[in-house]
Structure 1
């Protein structure tokens, strides 16, 4: 990998992670302003919006970057520029159509969201916030295309900067507008959330503005590359977009997975809770499930996926070159890193559910929030495994099975969700999601085993070792919690104490886990000599 590409990948990863961190941190003041009811209404808008956004744009940056890089490598700069120029028109049309479709079908969606029991919000409230967020669809598809074009030229800075600016502009607008509406003007939460969801459009404007600035700054250089175009390859627009859709399709289904699972909750949760006499808490529980706790469980997922997906290019290369042993080695490393990072993180989050929830969202609704987070956190490992296995399927050219596995998982969720909520309350939705993802992941495991001729024996053995380390970590954390409780330090007292409890337990638990991994050389087996202290340990071992 060239130093330029390595630097670009680092910049893109850094921008993505910073954007995700900002997307998590703003939840704290946002929840304080609008309350749990406001976050519920916010979730009603973002679930359908995310589905439409995934269909309209998911995979576009990566697909376009792959297409542009391919023809640039051939010296056919004119082909990639032709895609860019025509693509702007296509993505503009796609955005307009997506906006019009979501805006127009909103009245058809809302009756399925609001149950017949006691509700804080009306169908008109839900329709207002969905239509407010739909405006972002006018801009985001074009923005995605431009990002992909820059990435195809190995220029990751524009994408990274635009992501961060988009997130900052969105968050600032959300916090300022909701504060003004609720605190200063004393208007309803519905009005505040309509402004908050419109923040997606404001953020998209900021991100697009950054990309346009980069375009004018680098336009002369990009135009100069056209003078070196060979002009020997002619690709029709039909073939061009067929190839582009082939690249983009797998990313669409990976990106749309979580929103579709949440959409099933959106259409069944309130009705099922109403059927068991819990209509009074259904809406707040739905917001906690799809917004507050979902944000928290995605923290370890993002970290694990970032580590795991970094190995996907090497897996693809080994598969194409038919190097079976090397492919097995890379698959072993990928799965082990995902388990190594995610497993202790989600178990720790589950164990610290109450103080973690209070740390981010305060004491309000902690009984329901802590309960949901305690069950939801372990499901996060399935989120990570689905993303990584889907990427591996693309690497071994079996991406069609991603569609099948997702379909099976959604079918399981759809069949069981209402029944599970009737039997188990709000936890039933979590278990339904876990079962659906588990089926999808197991199917992907089977496909990888069959088409990559891969054995899971080593991963299973190493995972058992990680499980032992995690059990020891749990004992350490539980002991730490007991000691603090004996000293009168309780998370139920205040948010400040909850923050202290989470930090102390995270340090003691994390230190025990990594110490055991270091002493048994598991860290070295997973990461090789990438870290200085591991290289030192290797040298000592050789002596």
Structure 2
């Protein structure tokens, strides 16, 4: 099942491209879906979102730690030439986590009514039952993804992610359209829509099984540097000791999101705010619509984090600490280059961006929420890459501490801010920003303490920040001037065109400023496919 390795930037690029494709497919799914079953009146989209959040929480509890832990163990064993141990690690992982995924599916399916009642959305029961089988499918996917990522082969993971998204698009949107056309109740509409997620996971798991069979037949004999192989019990213990803390640290935030569902509904319905249950559910649906945009840069950085974990783990296993330092510096710099402009873009163009896809009413309510989430974009990205770095260092306890403290801040912020009529649902993105910045700063402190040095701030943060400030100024001027000159009405085709022009200008200005300030280095570009040609084209020395 082995093939030529990719360097960590190439692997990250493959996953980023897949993530962008998934997000585009997701937009073709999410935007028509919200316009079809959501908006300002129908609670169906809120029911769909609530069921999906419950599924995500159960998914993280049962499987999220596996790919990271498995990729670390596979990368380390591969670096030491222990091929027989690699195969045993995969068998042990499958023997533990696939049954756990099946058990989680059963709990979610048969306990759907309890979960739905807990979040004060009893109508979400059918939707929760429809999505329950996805957990077992993802457990199977997680084993294969962890193996391939540990081998520095990100292609199977990328392809399976696209398959998942395609299944959701065609099956989910098709079933939602069928349900609406036949006048079904909101609970049934939400259940049929979320069934598309399950069907996508089934097809993706089938692809991974076929891919594994093909890879096994094509595999060539591998020269063993070491015949050493640890006993099954020891490998299982190591796998669990890695995956459980990673799962807990991820579950802390996922469970906080789950509590977030209950807190938003409950606090918006409190006497101080005074929303009805239906209005609170609708407001939550609009908020999740803005979160989808917020997750786009995070998805790209997650791809970088997935690729960097086995790279650092492998380098440490082979005692190549120079590679560890270079990889860490490049990762943090690329994180800032990608996420700083995204955050500023959300701050400046939140309303116009939402108007490109949703009704004016939804954009007016969601604009301030999305703008505030822009503050959190760089922090969320830093959390992803610093968590992966600390896990590669073998300090899986430190992200757990940081995430727990952040979760406490998030829950307290939600409770007090959302229940305050001056903030209302705006309290949710505010507490999110504070939470993730706290976690990011704690993780950076831990990395500095472990490595005795962080990459230079000027190169890592200062230059991308300066380019972002220049980009933000150009974006604001361009958008403001065009709106005044053309005198556009919100939501019109011309209004959307102005937004696209402003985004294009922002991207062009940002790239020019990055090159002028030398925020991108030749070594970074050389890691890309066709890197030398790109570096020469950009005149990078």
Is the TM value for this pair above 0.5? yes
Q: Mapping of 1:337-416 within 5 angstroms?
A: 337-416=334-413
**CA separation of 1:219 and 1:476: change in aligned 2, threshold 3 A:** closer
Q: Does 2:32 correspond to 1:23?
A: no
Greater displacement, 359-368 / 186-195? 359-368
Q: Mapping of 1:464-483 within 5 angstroms?
A: 464-483=462-481
Tell me which residue corresponds to 2:236. 241
Measured in 1, the distance between the counterparts of 2:21 and 2:256 equals 26
**CA separation of 1:337 and 1:139: change in aligned 2, threshold 3 A:** closer
**CA separation of 1:393 and 1:408: change in aligned 2, threshold 3 A:** same
Measured in 2, the distance between the counterparts of 1:146 and 1:356 equals 37
The answer as to whether partners of 2:150 and 2:310 remain within 8 angstroms in 1 is no
Q: Which has the higher contact order (CA 8 A, sep 6+)?
A: 2
Tell me which residue corresponds to 2:282. 284
Match of 1:260 among 255, 258, 263: 255
**CA separation of 1:152 and 1:267: change in aligned 2, threshold 3 A:** same
Measured in 2, the distance between the counterparts of 1:43 and 1:107 equals 16
Tell me which residue corresponds to 1:102. 108
Match of 1:144 among 138, 142, 145: 142
The DSSP-based 3-state class of the residue aligned with 2:490 is coil
**CA separation of 1:488 and 1:265: change in aligned 2, threshold 3 A:** same
Measured in 2, the distance between the counterparts of 1:266 and 1:371 equals 19
What is the RMSD computed on CA atoms of the aligned residues?
Answer: 3.3
Tell me which residue corresponds to 1:200. 197
> Cα distance, 1:482 vs. partner?
2.1
**CA separation of 1:233 and 1:214: change in aligned 2, threshold 3 A:** same
**CA separation of 1:199 and 1:471: change in aligned 2, threshold 3 A:** same
The DSSP-based 3-state class of the residue aligned with 2:491 is coil
The answer as to whether partners of 2:29 and 2:168 remain within 8 angstroms in 1 is no
The answer as to whether partners of 1:355 and 1:491 remain within 8 angstroms in 2 is no
Measured in 1, the distance between the counterparts of 2:302 and 2:153 equals 22
Tell me which residue corresponds to 1:117. none
Deviation track 1:277-327 (CA, whole Å, cap 9, x = no partner) reads: 1335321221222x2111101222233444566555665566667777775
Match of 1:181 among 179, 184, 195: 179
**CA separation of 1:17 and 1:252: change in aligned 2, threshold 3 A:** farther
> Cα distance, 1:491 vs. partner?
5.9
The answer as to whether partners of 1:332 and 1:459 remain within 8 angstroms in 2 is no
The DSSP-based 3-state class of the residue aligned with 1:410 is helix
The DSSP-based 3-state class of the residue aligned with 2:269 is helix
The answer as to whether partners of 2:302 and 2:381 remain within 8 angstroms in 1 is yes
Tell me which residue corresponds to 2:6. 6
Tell me which residue corresponds to 1:35. 38
Tell me which residue corresponds to 1:437. 436
The answer as to whether partners of 2:379 and 2:433 remain within 8 angstroms in 1 is yes
> Cα distance, 1:45 vs. partner?
0.6
**Equivalent pairs, count:** 525
> Cα distance, 1:237 vs. partner?
3.0
Measured in 2, the distance between the counterparts of 1:337 and 1:34 equals 38
The answer as to whether partners of 1:69 and 1:152 remain within 8 angstroms in 2 is yes
Tell me which residue corresponds to 2:518. 521
**CA separation of 1:503 and 1:308: change in aligned 2, threshold 3 A:** farther
Measured in 2, the distance between the counterparts of 1:94 and 1:469 equals 47
Deviation track 1:153-178 (CA, whole Å, cap 9, x = no partner) reads: 66554433333222212221101100
Gaps of 5+ in 1: 115-122
> Cα distance, 1:57 vs. partner?
1.6
Greater displacement, 89-98 / 47-56? 89-98
Deviation track 1:334-358 (CA, whole Å, cap 9, x = no partner) reads: 3232122211121112211111112
> Cα distance, 1:409 vs. partner?
0.5
Match of 2:417 among 417, 420, 425: 420
Measured in 2, the distance between the counterparts of 1:533 and 1:219 equals 35
The answer as to whether partners of 1:353 and 1:373 remain within 8 angstroms in 2 is yes
Q: Mapping of 1:62-77 within 5 angstroms?
A: 62-68=68-74
Deviation track 1:442-462 (CA, whole Å, cap 9, x = no partner) reads: 211211121211246x31576
The answer as to whether partners of 2:467 and 2:517 remain within 8 angstroms in 1 is no
**CA separation of 1:91 and 1:302: change in aligned 2, threshold 3 A:** closer
Measured in 2, the distance between the counterparts of 1:337 and 1:42 equals 34
The DSSP-based 3-state class of the residue aligned with 1:360 is coil
Tell me which residue corresponds to 1:452. 451
Tell me which residue corresponds to 1:118. none
Greater displacement, 93-102 / 243-252? 243-252
**CA separation of 1:215 and 1:517: change in aligned 2, threshold 3 A:** closer
> Cα distance, 1:152 vs. partner?
5.2
Greater displacement, 151-160 / 103-112? 151-160
Deviation track 1:97-140 (CA, whole Å, cap 9, x = no partner) reads: 112222344333334422xxxxxxxx431222122211212322
The answer as to whether partners of 1:476 and 1:512 remain within 8 angstroms in 2 is yes
Measured in 2, the distance between the counterparts of 1:127 and 1:514 equals 48
**CA separation of 1:468 and 1:301: change in aligned 2, threshold 3 A:** same
Give the alignment's TM-score, normalised by structure 1.
0.86
Match of 1:165 among 134, 148, 163: 163
**CA separation of 1:536 and 1:213: change in aligned 2, threshold 3 A:** closer
The DSSP-based 3-state class of the residue aligned with 1:361 is coil
Tell me which residue corresponds to 2:65. 59
**CA separation of 1:271 and 1:379: change in aligned 2, threshold 3 A:** same
Deviation track 1:425-457 (CA, whole Å, cap 9, x = no partner) reads: 11111111111112211211211121211246x
> Cα distance, 1:219 vs. partner?
4.3
**CA separation of 1:69 and 1:391: change in aligned 2, threshold 3 A:** closer
**CA separation of 1:161 and 1:455: change in aligned 2, threshold 3 A:** closer
Gaps of 5+ in 2: none
The DSSP-based 3-state class of the residue aligned with 1:487 is helix
